[in-house]
Amino acid sequence: MNSESSIRIAIHGASGRMGLEVLKAANARSDCAVAAALVRAASPWVGEALAGALGAGAPDLDFVSTLDPDTPVDAIVDFSTPDALATPLAMALERRVALICGTTGLKQTQIDALKDAAGRIPVLWSANFSLGIALLKRMAAMAALQLGPEFEVEILEVHHRHKRDAPSGTALALGRAIADARREAFEDIARFSHFGSSEPRRRGDIGFAVMRAADVVGEHTVMFASEGERLELTHRANSRSIFASGAVRSAVWLANQPPGWYDITDVLS
């Protein structure tokens, strides 16, 4: 943990779309600093100056494939791929620093590894670092609890054509928050397709619908419907910068927390 006011952040997956946004977001804040911009060893970005990506005012650093042992770090932010998760996790454990992970599409074994690491370091994994989404999770859980099982739940998510996982990790997180509020096992009530089914909708199910189109950054709608009325809670992301800002804010907060498993909603507390 850094006793000074500026939290030193290493960014893993720094040359990706989200990694670059995180670099910009961290560089724009006064309470943190970019300590390292990490990319894979075969990346053409290795050795390139951050100024080439961030422009004037960028830290005097190059993109690197390994974290220098002499580089002080308080938190590691990871936006890479599931196959690359082991690298930032090992670095965070070795340094005993906070790990903020926004990589989606993880296997259950990888989630378990992150939770195991939380016994030694502070860990925050989230499928979505939008603070608006964090509040939406709270609101959806509250609505589920107050409205009761007579209100049926459907979750619609819309993303750009390149998104690979479906439903999105955020949609699943919203569904889990609702299931937890109703004290139900998510796996028992999640329904991912109505296509081809002639059976009526089961009471208590949480339905999911997915759309992929053009360059949509991300939209999530939670619908509660009963006979005669419908409540819809919607969040629309117009820029990836909101996810980066949330991740950096989370890193600044998490760097000063004890070991444990944290959620993006904790950052709002």
How many whole angstroms separate alpha carbon 239 and alpha carbon 21? Answer: 10
Please return the burial class of 261, using the count of CB atoms within 10 Å of its CB with bins 0-12, 13-18 and 19+.
middle
How many whole angstroms separate alpha carbon 63 and alpha carbon 53? Answer: 10
Strands 190-191 and 206-212: parallel
Q: How many CB atoms lie within 10 A of CB 62?
A: 15
Strand partners, 225: 152, 230
What residue type is assigned to position 139 of the chain? Answer: M
Which one of 24, 137, 159, 235 is the catalytic residue? 159
How many whole angstroms separate alpha carbon 100 and alpha carbon 85? Answer: 11
**Annotation says 159 is catalytic:** yes
Whether the CB-CB separation of 226 and 243 falls below 8 Å is answered with no
**Strand runs (DSSP E) across 46-115, as ranges?**
63-64, 75-78, 98-101
Which one of 163, 194, 220, 235 is the catalytic residue? 163
**Annotation says 163 is catalytic:** yes
C-alpha to C-alpha distances, 156 to 202, 212, 252, nearest whole angstrom = 18, 11, 32
Positions marked active-site? 159, 163
